Amino acid sequence: MLPIEPFRADLADLAAAAQDEVASLLSGVTSRRAAERMLTEALPDIVSVYGDAAGALAADWYDEVRSALEVPGRFRAVAGELPDVGRTDSLAEWATRPLADDPSTIDTVITRAQGGTQRIVMNVGRDTVTYSAVHDPSARGWQRAGAGECNFCKMLIGRGAVYRAETADFGAHDHCKCIAVPAWGGRPVPVKPFAGSARGVSDAEQARVHNWMLAHT
Ligand SMILES: [Zn+2]
């Protein structure tokens, strides 16, 4: 079996370290202008430090697991890329909006900025695995793995689908701790489908997952 949880924890730790930097950057800030300027200046560095680390971590993990499982054929994982500066600029703009009307909303602003930062860092790790698993001749594709902390993720993980299209979108959201893991040919899939208990899941959430599946698989 794939050592999924240690890898997921390591990626989450990198994202959490990036989130800590965002929080200390914004502590005590009360004006939107200042907050947006600080984020616009600092986020590219923060996501590049932790995002590159996430890409390297994911590529090493992929190669190590592939070799340990004696997957046939030669292939080396390709680390995912960072988004361009437009992504962090728009995060800075969106995250700081609440401060325009109310200086006491800094906690909301921090949560927003942390969520977007966390998503960017995790996405570099996810992209590493999804790209590699689509291009690895011995892989069948990738699966979503995680603890299912929200209903959207719980339902997607429960499908146990193997995505093989290069265009398949991960469907991440801010603060999501799900990761992608490779499914190699001739072996049991790493994430087993489970009978989806839709209990506690609203119709709207089920529709969201259904629509996402239609659009992305
Ligand atoms: Zn998730």
Structure token pair of residue 194: 């489970």
Q: How far is the CA of 34 from the centre of ligand 1 (A)?
A: 32
Q: How far is the CA of 102 from the centre of ligand 1 (A)?
A: 31
**pLDDT by residue for the chain (217 residues), tens digit each?**
789 999 999 999 999 999 999 999 999 899 999 999 999 999 999 999 999 999 999 999 999 999 999 999 999 999 999 999 999 999 999 999 999 999 899 999 999 999 999 999 999 999 999 999 999 999 999 999 999 988 899 999 999 999 998 878 888 899 999 999 999 998 889 999 886 555 667 788 778 877 777 776 5
The residue type of 78 is V
Q: How far is the CA of 169 from the centre of ligand 1 (A)?
A: 13
Residue 186 main-chain phi, psi, to 5 deg: 70, 15
Q: Is the pTM of this model over 0.95?
A: no
Of 45, 62, 44, nearest to 7 by C-alpha is 62
Contact of 148 with 122, CB cutoff 8 Å: no
Q: How far is the CA of 6 from the centre of ligand 1 (A)?
A: 16
pLDDT at residue 197 in the model: 57
pLDDT at residue 199 in the model: 64
Cα separation, 45 vs 80, in Å, equals 16
Cα separation, 27 vs 163, in Å, equals 41
3-state secondary structure of 181: strand
Structure token pair of residue 30: 């009360």
The domains of the chain are located at 4-216
pLDDT at residue 165 in the model: 86
Beta bridge partners of 184: 139
pLDDT at residue 146 in the model: 95
Q: How far is the CA of 45 from the centre of ligand 1 (A)?
A: 25
Q: How far is the CA of 28 from the centre of ligand 1 (A)?
A: 30
pLDDT at residue 84 in the model: 96
Q: How far is the CA of 147 from the centre of ligand 1 (A)?
A: 7
Q: Running DSSP on this structure, what letter comes out for residue 150?
A: S
Cα separation, 66 vs 70, in Å, equals 6
